[in-house]
Structure 1
Amino acid sequence: MARPTLSSDRHRLHRIVFRLTDGEHRDLARRAKQLDRRANELARMLLLSALETPGQETSYYDPAVVSELNAIGNNLNQITKGMHITGRLSPTVTALCQRIEDLIDEAIGKENE
């Protein structure tokens, strides 16, 4: 008996190839065996489930921090423009640079949590 024909929306046409280390391959093969699947089936399942799961991003972006960085960037652009016009550096630049460093440290700290 022949295998039934897949509908056009289920027919897999595209190939994605990636390489794994020995350890990664061993872990994938072990896990696939536990689930009674082939390694490539498990990899496909994991990828597709990760793509379908909204809200599980690897990075943390606090809207308040992004907004503050945007405001600081605007101020820095204004200071730079003034510096080009007058040829003098505003004393607020040092404080602004320190605040930028503090925000970057804060963002890095939240990302590592």
Structure 2
Amino acid sequence: MRKRSVSFLLRLNESEHARLMREVKQTGLSREAYIRALINGYVPKPIPQPDYYAMMRQLHAIGNNLNQLAAKAHTTGHLERATFQEEADQLRRAVQQIQQAVTEPERRVKQPRANPNVHPP
């Protein structure tokens, strides 16, 4: 059974429809998911550029190398564990910040409402 049982018809002119479809395509979301995000106060971000994924693969590889070094250092006892852990934590935070900055939708800024009692000149 569907979670969303309410549907509605929305009429747009050609330019509004073209703009909506252009923005939806940039995000990679479905039209419905895009509109739901807007209703919930989020502006979806465009799909990241291909170099983002290459960069993330490289950062994950670095993290994997650090983990391998940690395992080797643990067995041989030739690396200060606290220093290494600090570096690994810093790498993990950097990866999370990059993912957040590029992929997570941002909260939409609320526009001030016009005062109905004030008339423009």
Scaled to the shorter chain, the TM-score interval is 0.3 to 0.5
More contact order relative to length (CA 8 Å, sep ≥ 6): 2
TM-score, normalisation: structure 1: 0.44
TM-score, normalisation: structure 2: 0.42
Please say which structure displays the higher CA radius of gyration.
1
